[in-house]
Structure 1
Amino acid sequence: MRKVGIMGGTFDPIHYAHLIAAQSAMEFAALDEVWFIPTSSPPLKPNAPLATEEQRLAMVNLAIQGEPRFRGLDIELNRGGTSYSIDTIMELRAMYPMHQFHYIIGSDRIHDLPRWHRAQELIQLVGFIGLNRPSEPLELDQLPTQWQSKLTIAPMPLIEISSTELRKRVKAGKALRYYVPDEVESYIRRHRLYE
């Protein structure tokens, strides 16, 4: 049974905070792999991604190419439409019945878990690894007991990088070095993304 962490998101663009989050979760929860799954249309984000699906997946693959335990998947992009975690997990479990899946989420999303689409079904199928960031205090006693039992809390260094801010940096003509892997910055410049 392989233990796999799932990192979902728009990755518009992927950056070092995403990679450090994946590494932190993998080490703390003894994951065998972390799979990065760009969303087609995220249900909790009102604005559509600026880069195309193909470009976001390409940036993910460039960012993770040096870590053999990281993998990019196009499962939600192929499905299209709004990306719900329950649909992704059901599809992954059918494809990989000998894998155990765990969603990796930031502390800002932990309190929202009971409101996820078809949450009661989802909790039966997957575990959660919550990254405890110092800037986002956790109040786990606010979560229903069944959710607390499915949640592993992993420490996460305080790294305040957001894709929104990176897009603004590009538009302002500023460098992305030290925010994203060099290959990702080169891809963004080559394709004139976010200008």
Structure 2
Amino acid sequence: MQGCQVYSRSQPAVQTQAVTGQRRRVGIYGGTFNPVHNAHLLVADQVGHALCLNKVKLMPDAIPPHVDHKTAISADLRLAMLRLAIEGNPLLGIEDGELKRGGVSYTYETMKRLINQHPDTDYYFIIGGDMVDYLDKWFRIDDLIKLPRFHFVGVRRPHASNTTNYPVIWVDVPEVDISSSDIRSRIRRGQSVNYLLPAKVAAFIKEHHLYQ
């Protein structure tokens, strides 16, 4: 990738040529993806190109650790929709470690495992500005930010404060107001979800009578 932006956690972006060297740069974008939609894909693709990442992996959780637990459909269905959603984009991939492990998903434990398994990789963990707002409540946050080769990437959200004392690399991404909860509600009401999520994902939802 030429002309993309390379960031450090303490310095502004600088224009650069393609990243050289042997270390891989991988983005991790976690979520329930219930279902995956076009805003998810937009964020993953934009951050991947902005930071010259080799890959951006969407990582579905088994059970989210948040206080407001979400009721999600089965993991195999969410994973199948993710595979359909990323078809044709070689930048995007899937990290299914949390699904295989099961139970509550904590970022610290997941990233520690990935870093130990792939010592040649720098990881960029992508979160929205609304998640940045309460990083201080994350499980073992002080240990998480000290992990080697780990970086937080923040995507600004219009209704979030988008500020933190923790080291975060901010990437500007076009604002697209799409949510999984709204898509589920539209499907229940029999409304159109065209252009809110990939056509193959919409067809899969219809074929399997999901969210009805």
Normalising by structure 1, we get a TM-score of 0.92
| Conserved? CA contact 1:38–1:76, under 8 Å | yes
Structure with max Cα Rg: 2
How far 1:47 sits from its partner (Å)?
Answer: 3.2
Runs of at least 4 residues off by over 2 Å = 45-50, 133-138
Does residue 1:187 correspond to 2:204, yes or no? yes
Does residue 1:14 correspond to 2:36, yes or no? yes
**Following the alignment from structure 1 to structure 2, what is the Cα–Cα distance between the partners of residues 171 and 69?**
33
Q: Which has the higher helix share?
A: 1
How far 1:135 sits from its partner (Å)?
Answer: 4.1
Quote the RMSD (CA, aligned, Å): 1.3
**Following the alignment from structure 1 to structure 2, what is the Cα–Cα distance between the partners of residues 66 and 120?**
38
| Conserved? CA contact 1:134–1:157, under 8 Å | no
Does residue 1:56 correspond to 2:78, yes or no? yes
**Following the alignment from structure 1 to structure 2, what is the Cα–Cα distance between the partners of residues 33 and 50?**
26
SS in 1 for 2:210: coil
How far 1:160 sits from its partner (Å)?
Answer: 0.6
2:191 aligned residue:
174
TM-superposition CA deviations, 1:30-60 (whole Å, max 9, x none): 2111011100000115334331100011111
SS in 1 for 2:124: strand
Letter in 1 for 2:211: Y
Normalising by structure 2, we get a TM-score of 0.85
How far 1:133 sits from its partner (Å)?
Answer: 3.1
Does residue 1:128 correspond to 2:145, yes or no? no
Q: Comparing both chains, which one has the higher relative contact order based on Cα–Cα distances under 8 Å and sequence gaps of 6 or more?
A: 1
**Following the alignment from structure 2 to structure 1, what is the Cα–Cα distance between the partners of residues 91 and 207?**
27
| Conserved? CA contact 2:98–2:105, under 8 Å | yes
Percent identity between matched residues is 36
SS in 1 for 2:146: helix
**Following the alignment from structure 2 to structure 1, what is the Cα–Cα distance between the partners of residues 133 and 186?**
30
| Conserved? CA contact 1:5–1:101, under 8 Å | yes
1:91 aligned residue:
113
Does residue 1:2 correspond to 2:19, yes or no? no
- Gapped regions of structure 1 (runs ≥ 5): none
